[in-house]
Amino acid sequence: MAGARVGFIGLGDQGGPMAQRIIAAGFPTTVWARRPEALAPFTAAGAAAAADPAALARASDLIGLCVRTDADLMEIYDQISPGLLPGAVVMIHSTVRPAACVALAERAAAKGVDLLDAPVSGGHAVAVNGRLTVMVGGDAGVLERCRPVLASFAQRIVHVGDAGAGQRAKLVNNLLMAANFTLAHEAVSTGVAMGLNRAALNDIIAASSGGSIAHKVYAGLPQLSDFARHVELVRKDVGLIAAERADDERVQRMAEVARRFLDAVDADANARGIQA
């Protein structure tokens, strides 16, 4: 889709930088947000502002959606649906239930529209630098058509199967990430209880075999409550895979481990009177 017209909805902490990368790559881009004032940085960079989601869909060959929850995704899809043109592609960058993507793929196909579930990993700073990882479920040929757009904000694009597979890969990744936060917290807390200096220990772990991305983020927290703004989304993702694999004891054990760090963050935030 060289020269594709791109629409983007979900201009938040991660979606915003993704949209800016698409604009900077020269793709004609249309954006929409519930709050019109949120569009200013994107229109200043050259994007067009749509009057509503259906108008955005009518102006786009490819539509990226990066909203927070299943309910948000279903609501926005219902709003873009009247404007979707045959041959268009919808890409879901949100982290949602795999079944939601399968259901939307079927609805899209009935209109002659392709759908890829393409959740991303890396966070805000990585998105700004165009180095996200995208895990893609859906038709491999459609992915190849969309690859130039994805490459504007991603350094790694991996096709993992049919619709829904991208979400399953993302949920496995996020479960491991959340569990690693708990392990990092409890390991460092153990070291401090053994009389070790926290900063020195974190420095050692960061350069040693026990290091991880989760530990790097954890080590950079002045206090646990500084992670509070992320707890809701991480807890959501842990809950999604726990529900997806309700009978899998391994997943339930990992989810239990993962929630210990999230509970610790909530406890610290409550003790400090901080509203997440």
Pairing of strands 132-137, 120-121: antiparallel
For residues 110 and 91, give the distance between their C-alpha atoms in angstroms, rounded to a whole number: 16
For residues 85 and 42, give the distance between their C-alpha atoms in angstroms, rounded to a whole number: 24
For residues 201 and 195, give the distance between their C-alpha atoms in angstroms, rounded to a whole number: 10
* DSSP string over 101-125: HHHHHHHHHHTT-EEEE--EES-HH
For residues 157 and 148, give the distance between their C-alpha atoms in angstroms, rounded to a whole number: 11
The torsion angle over the Cα atoms of residues 52, 92, 217 and 181, rounded to 10 degrees, is 130
For residues 213 and 215, give the distance between their C-alpha atoms in angstroms, rounded to a whole number: 5
- Give the number of other CB atoms < 10 A from CB of residue 275: 7
For residues 54 and 252, give the distance between their C-alpha atoms in angstroms, rounded to a whole number: 40
What residues act catalytically?
Answer: 170
Q: CA-based Rg of the chain, rounded to a whole angstrom?
A: 20
For residues 18 and 42, give the distance between their C-alpha atoms in angstroms, rounded to a whole number: 11
Strand partners, 136: 159
